Structure 1
Amino acid sequence: MLPAAVSIQTRKKPTMTRHRTYSQRGRLSVSRVFAAVFMTTLICLGTPLSAVELPPESPLWESQSPPHEFQPNGEQSLRSANVRPDSLSEFNRVFSNVSSPTYSIHRPKKSCGVGLVICPGGGFRDVWIDREGHDLAILLKEHGVTSLVLKYRTRSEEELRKPNGWQNYQLAVQADGRQAIRILRQNAEDLGLQPDKIGVCGFSAGGHLAISCSLHPESKSLESRVSGMPSFAGLFYPGIPDDAAETIEQRMKPESQNSPICPMFIINARHDELTPVEKCIDFYSHLLEAGVDAELHVYGRGGHGFGLGVGRGESTTMWPAGFVAWLRDFNIIED
């Protein structure tokens, strides 16, 4: 039984002092311009500007221990960063030392039949749950998309120092991603979803996770009657796995018994030092060679971690509308 949504009080933003310098006034004016652009985009998308409710968290592995368990560096911690002007949740929480993964489901008033697992970024050390999770879920809810925001396990530095530490961690976090997909798929009837329209998306490290879940076959030891493979993927300034090209090549071989690679929507900024655009372009080229339905958008502004885009260039704010349009182009969302 899925938990009912509960209200979370939104925080009041601090009151600005009356006396500002000229440079402060200039920055405020620029912020207002970007905010106005973003709000215009939301209106075009049909997103209301009223307060929202954040759903509760539920344990991802409620009835079993997480596969590939490892010891965290310490207790789970939470800090709050500055709330950006484009925040729909009005929160900007960052979780670290996550060893017990959880999820939250945003249910629209009327489902379009599409379900989406959202994997926030944070370099696998943190999970930026609101800025790269709940904010997108709130926006997509207005288009009938049911979103599961995943707080996956973060890496332990002690575990990474062990032999095959990174590979073992990747198995653990991939298991979290697939379990989230299964939760949407096995609850499809209750959520009003079509089981063949359950996708995964992610920002930065979360994009790395989304790629891994899309390319790698499910582990034989974790096979389930409910598939953990996504029907489509959204990759937002993603980290590209080192083995991505090799994995695509393996999937292309005639003897491969795996299903085709799912359609993918990819965005990045031209100047991104953490997840370089060149790697995205190379990844996109390999997808095209494999016959994958893929779409790539490279923005001239933005840098890394632009979230929903406000304050990082006017065209960058339009990527959520582009993602929704892509979902319609491929009949994932059907009007």
Structure 2
Amino acid sequence: MKNILLLLMLVVMGNTAAQDTIMPLWTKDEIPNQIKSLEKEVHEQNEILRISKVQVPTIEVYLPSKRDATGEAVLIFPGGGYGILAYDWEGTDIAKFFNSKGIAGVVVKYRLPSDVSQKDKRYVPLIDAQRAIRLVRNNAEKFNVESDKIGIIGFSAGGHLASTLGTHFNEKVYKAVDDIDNESARPDFMSLGYPVISFGEMTHQGSKKNLIGENPTIDIVDYFSNEKQVTEQTPPTFLLHATDDTVVPVENSLLFYKAVKDKGGSATMHIYPKGGHGFGLGLHDEHLKDWGERMIDWIVSLR
């Protein structure tokens, strides 16, 4: 009898895990800006799972139970200076947090800029970001989400990518490959955690160099300085930063907040006195551990 109960429990657990799905963004023959090379994807696990040299971009979909589902989904862009992805710390852990609130969490494993395996590498992360949100919107019914309740969140350089998507969603940065590309790439809302925003004086030099190189033109610097790209169509935005962040100065969030405000948009900002950089969910910090709840309150206010 005990063996039968154990088998039933394993079946139930298996069915639950089956809702977490990994989907490629592209077929192998249709990956934009891809160059065939010997470069291989690298996974390194040491407290944090670091993924680099991404060759096959994917989304990893975490779904709440249908009974708890709110109909919302959030695409998650992990940070890592456009050199690696902090895939669990700022990715799957965040997805599980969203699931606990009835929200679908979708971790985007986007390609990182590479001179070896890509041409015109500057646009590759944005290409993958646009495709990812279109793919989720195209599968909204399958994922039990509403197509007009799909938001994004990004951390550090992932915050730069999220803000790039939130300000460049209408731009055609790749040639359509199928009907999925007919979907809108505009996020319905956007959260930015200690984000790189500007490629000006207050930037994170590593992210800037990895994405646009050592000697970019002024036009390219301005293009990827997202405080300069805000329009009336920029989605409602939640900003999170620590004043003592010495890696990505808090002025990045302040610049974006002001830009959204000046365009008559909706922005909410939480600036903490301490926390440094890269604190993720901040669960072990009494000052930071509730920021996720503040974000959920904000998402609820948009309903």
Same fold (TM over 0.5): yes
Once the two structures are overlaid, the 10-residue window that deviates more, 57-66 or 262-271, is 57-66
Contact 1:72–1:99 (CA under 8 A) maintained in structure 2: no
**1:4-49 deviation line (CA, Å, top 9, x unaligned):** x996xxxxxxxxxxxxxxxxxxxxxxxxxxxxxxxxxxxxxxxxxx
Quote the Cα distance in structure 1 between the aligned partners of 2:266 and 2:164: 17
Compare 185-194 and 52-61 and name the one that shifted more: 52-61
Look up the equivalent residue of 2:243 and give its one-letter code.
Answer: R
1:97 equivalent in alignment to 2:33 = no
Do the aligned residues in 1 keep the contact of 2:166 with 2:186 (CA within 8 Å)? Answer: yes
The residue aligned with 2:287 is: 315
Equivalent residue for 2:146? 194
* In structure 2, C-alpha distance between the alignment counterparts of 1:316 and 1:200, rounded to whole Å: 20
Q: Give the equivalent residue in structure 1 for 2:228.
A: 246
C-alpha separation in 2, matches of 1:197 and 1:54: 20
Query: Contact (CA 8 Å) 1:71, 1:156: kept in 2 or not?
Result: no
Match of 1:127 among 73, 76, 85: 85
Asked if 2 retains the 8 angstrom alpha-carbon contact of 1:125 and 1:155, the reply is yes
Pairing partner for 2:298 from 315, 319, 326? 326
Report the AA paired with residue 225 of structure 1. N
Q: 1:56 to 1:196 in 2, by over 3 A?
A: closer
Q: Give distance in 2, aligned partners of 1:289 and 1:73.
A: 47
Identity of counterpart residues, as a percentage? 31
Q: Which runs of 5+ in 2 are unaligned?
A: 1-11, 200-224
1:30 aligned partner: none
Q: Distance in 1 between matches of 2:281 and 2:27?
A: 32
Correspondence 1:233-272 to 2 at 5 A: 233-242=190-199, 243-248=225-230, 251=231, 260-272=233-245
1:229 and 2:186 matched: yes
The equivalent of 2:222 in structure 1 is none
- Please say if 1:152 is aligned against 2:124: no
Structure 1: which amino acid aligns with 2:41?
Answer: Q
C-alpha displacement at 1:222, in angstroms?
Answer: 3.8
> How far apart, in 2, do the equivalents of 1:245 and 1:235 lie?
13
1:169 aligns with 2:121: yes
Output the aligned Cα RMSD: 2.5
> 1:262 and 1:105, CA in 2 relative to 1: closer, same or farther beyond 3 A?
same
The CA distance in 1 between the partners of 2:38 and 2:112, in whole Å, is: 10
Alpha-carbon spacing, 1:277–1:71, altered in 2? closer, same or farther (3 Å) = farther
Name the CA shift for 1:271/1:212 in 2 (closer, same or farther; >3 Å): same
- Measured after TM superposition, the shift of residue 55 of structure 1 is 3.0
Unaligned runs of at least 5 residues, structure 1:
8-50, 83-91, 253-259
> How does the TM-score come out when normalised to structure 1?
0.71
CA shift, 1:56, in A, is 4.6
